[in-house]
Chains A and B, each alone.
Chain A
Amino acid sequence: MTKILYSDDLTACFSAWRKEGTKVLGPVQQAKTSGFGEVQDAKELDLDLVLTDRTLKELFFPRTEPMLSYSIGKQQIDTSEFLPSEHPCIIFGARPCDAAGMAIDDELFNWDYRDEYWFRRRDRSVIMTIACKESDDFCMCTSLGLAPDSAKGSDILLRPLTSGKGWQVEELTPKGSKALLPIASLLKEGTEEAAPTAEVPVLFDLEACTTWLANPENFESHFWKEISERCIGCGTCTYLCPTCHCFDIQDEGDTYEGIRRKNWDSCSFQLFTMHTSGHNPRNTQSARWRQRIMHKFNYFSDKFSVHSCTGCGRCTRECPVDMGVRETLQAISTLPK
């Protein structure tokens, strides 16, 4: 016997949560792209998508956010902080690869110094993931040791029923269980079977890759230039990656008042590491591509014991010139160590 949530009851669940003062967000079509938006009725959701175009990370790390405002006088400076509200919210229907990305970034945003902007949003949110029945040509979660029904980063895992009428409900964290209390009466006990999860073929040998990347001799390999020859150095892969977290800090305003913002940035951009002196440690696109791969599959894992990638495939799916980490890792796994 497992807890079952029927899709017919979903809108009622949303109402129950909203009555408690909790916002509900889910995957929606937003004028030509899909992302996460606030919903009131279940029919606003698009749960048939293999994966939303935009990632879950935007809910915790917006593409631009005001951090501080400043107001300068001769004798003093007044600042106020734009700390995110603690208004609770439930994210219904994220994919396991997206949720895993959030858990990965938790480690970074808490590395000795805690980023309150990230954690206030994380702490107030409950993530309910739906296991994937389908995948597309770009999915590669299994290559990263994850799966279409991975639990990482999720509070509640919903497994679609074979009947298509709803989901089995699997409680993963105390936070998740607590979130089910307001809808307890809407959950049924049942024995309905869950549909099999998507078959996602493993596309490369991750361990072979990490061994190659960890070898200092390969840092200077000609491979980097060859594999990144067509990269045009935009920020698409970075911005649509659930784990990429690099940012810029920019002041907008004048000498008297303004706002200090945290904005997305990308190591693919030419100016990312440019010194004021004019020296740029990563002056070629191949050096920048190498940084991207090394950071995700060597440096990050070196510090946090997990790679900075969940195999969601967006980098390849969205890249204007069909790059993405997949081709690089497939190529590396065939190279001699």
Chain B
Amino acid sequence: MRLTQGTFSFLPDLSDAQIRAQIEYCLGRGWAVSVEYTDDPHPRNAYWDMFGMPMFDLKDAAGVMAEVDACRKTFPRHYVKVNAFDATPGWEALRLSFIVNRPPSEPGFGLEREEGAGRLQRYALRAYAASRPEGERY
């Protein structure tokens, strides 16, 4: 099951040239771009790990692309995403966030049903990959 998340979730994966163009757009607006990774695909997993510091004062996408490539090389079987934060209004807002790397195979999710009191039915999503410990998934 192909996991989607963020700004371009409805599109096929972006090519490197497209990623670069998106980053150029972000930098042109003065946003700070950062790279994050995780191996927990659950949609409620909002806490991804930072790959280095967010990058401020960049003029050209080459610096971010180098960081994205370094992250892909370090974590080839993780999800990697690029975030763009806008601090220009005086507070930080996430303007853009999209996945730039995914594991070669994504086993998807299992739906777990739990019987509660009476006829209550609870549901839970469990990622098959997440049954193994962190770092050994995928």
Partners in one complex: no
Residues of A within 8 A of B (CB): none
Residues of B within 8 A of A (CB): none
